[in-house]
Every structure is written in C-alpha cells, then in structure tokens.
Amino acid sequence: MARKHMYALQYDSYSGGAAAPSQMVKPDGLVPLKIRESTRFYPYFKNCVGAIDGTHIPATVVGREVASYRNRKGTISQNVLAVCNFDLEFIYILSRWEGSAHDSRVLSDALRKFYLFDCGFANRFSFLAPFRGVKYHLKEFAGQDRDPETPYELFNLRHASLRNVIERIFGIFKSFAIFKSASIFPYKKQAGLVLACARLHNFLRRKCRSDEDVFPNENNAVNNGNTSVNIDESDREEPLETQEQDRENANNWRQSMAEDMWKDATI
C-alpha cells in the first residue's frame, strides 16, 4: 500500500496523512522525568524520547483485499504503529496498514527519532533494540531472587522497564469498546477512528487525569531535581554511511551503554 494511503497523526507533518492535530504531543527537548530522576536510566537513556511498537485492531474488509489484511493469527486486522512518551501520551500514530504487513515495513514509513522498541526490528541509532538471545520481558525477571548476572541482562531489564510504557498505552487504547471487535464501518472510516481515538486518549490524559503520580520519583534521583535538563543532540549525531555500517556502529553504541551500566552497577 502506497504511503499516500496511510493515515497518520503526529506533532508535525512527517507524513502525507491528516494534518497535525493539537492533541498529538510534541517532544519538548527535555530529558523525560521518568529517566531524569532515576540512576537506573540516567544518563544511559537520556536522549530517549519514548517507545514505539505496533498493534493489531480488528477490522472488517471486503473484496479482493481481504487476504492482505489477514494477520499471522488468521484474523482480519489493521496494523497500527504508534509512538508514545513516558507519560502515556501519543506522539505519533499511523493507521490503515494491512494486518499482514510486517512491523519493520510499517516502521520504514514512520519516524526516525531515538525510540525504544523490541527485537522485531534491527538495532539502529534512532531505534534502540534489546540484545537478542537474552531474556527481555519483565515477566522473565519477575519473582527471581537474583540480580541480572551480565551487562546484557541488566541492559535488557532496564530497556524493558522503560519500553513497557507502549504496552500500557496499547492496553488503555484498546479498551475503547469500538476496538473490541471488527467494526461495521467502511475500512477508510475504521482507520480514521483509530486516529480520532488517539486524539481523545491524549485529551483525556491531559484533562481528566487521576494518576498524576503514575511514575513516582525514585530515591536515587539525579541532577538534584533539576527539571530543565536538555537533550544533547551532539551525543547522537549520525554520519552518512551504509546501512550495514550504521547497524554495526549502533550495536557498538548499545554494547558500550550496557558495559557502562554494568560498571556503574557493580562498583
């Protein structure tokens, strides 16, 4: 499906979708509070803006295109790509992709910032992935008496603790009754409903919040509570190079980050 047929809402006009709405959150250039006030995450993730992932929304499709919207579970869906910040607000959302579309294909049509995602994508400077072959999901660490035993386990645990925000926002978002089953509306309108509900979600987060302390401050805060720590863009400036070299450099960057975490945690 051509990019011009995608529907997107975001804080500026990266894509050819809908006009940028006021309800999409714009990153403010500050280190997120969730990261800034925890030595578990700061300074390693100081340039991280949020998390990115895809989810499937039940859909109704008619005609010859039905097969392309059948996902790997055998159901008809639209593949929705979303980016959120650490305050459970949408930064970007892209709807109307076929359910059969692989997440990495959808990703190539989206943003290029510094975000966290899972092993479904290759590690890049703009999209930091966990180490493969090392336990990652939070439930794998839950109920264990031992601490992470390698730099890779420690990195993956902290990465998962931050990236979990995208799973939480999907859980909230898909609780809208309209997404519980395939819609009766034409598919074009179904895609539009995803964007409308994303705007509604952000509005409710701002105006009707009852969990202001959703991310309580940790005891080991950094920067003495300074609330205006700016992201140093020079820390992640990327040279022009081949994709293979870019990935190798990104892997070296991730390796160095993991080693720094481990060294600091074991001193």
pLDDT digits (tens, 9 = 90+) for 80-138: 889 899 999 998 888 765 545 555 555 555 444 678 988 877 898 888 999 999 988 88
pLDDT tens digits along 33-92 = 999 999 999 999 998 989 999 888 888 888 877 888 888 888 888 888 898 999 999 988
Strands of 107-264, DSSP E? 115-116, 127-128
From the list 131, 133, 155, the residue with the least C-alpha distance to 258 is 155
Q: Say if residues 44 and 260 touch (Cβ distance below 8 Å).
A: yes
Nearby residues of 17 by Cβ (< 8 Å), 6 or more positions away = 6, 7, 8, 9, 94
Q: What is the Cα–Cα distance from 156 to 171, expressed in whole angstroms?
A: 22
d(CA 95, CA 80): 5
| CA-angle at 123, arms to 235 and 53, nearest 5° | 105
pLDDT at 171 over 50: yes
Q: Are 98 and 104 within 8 A, CB to CB?
A: no
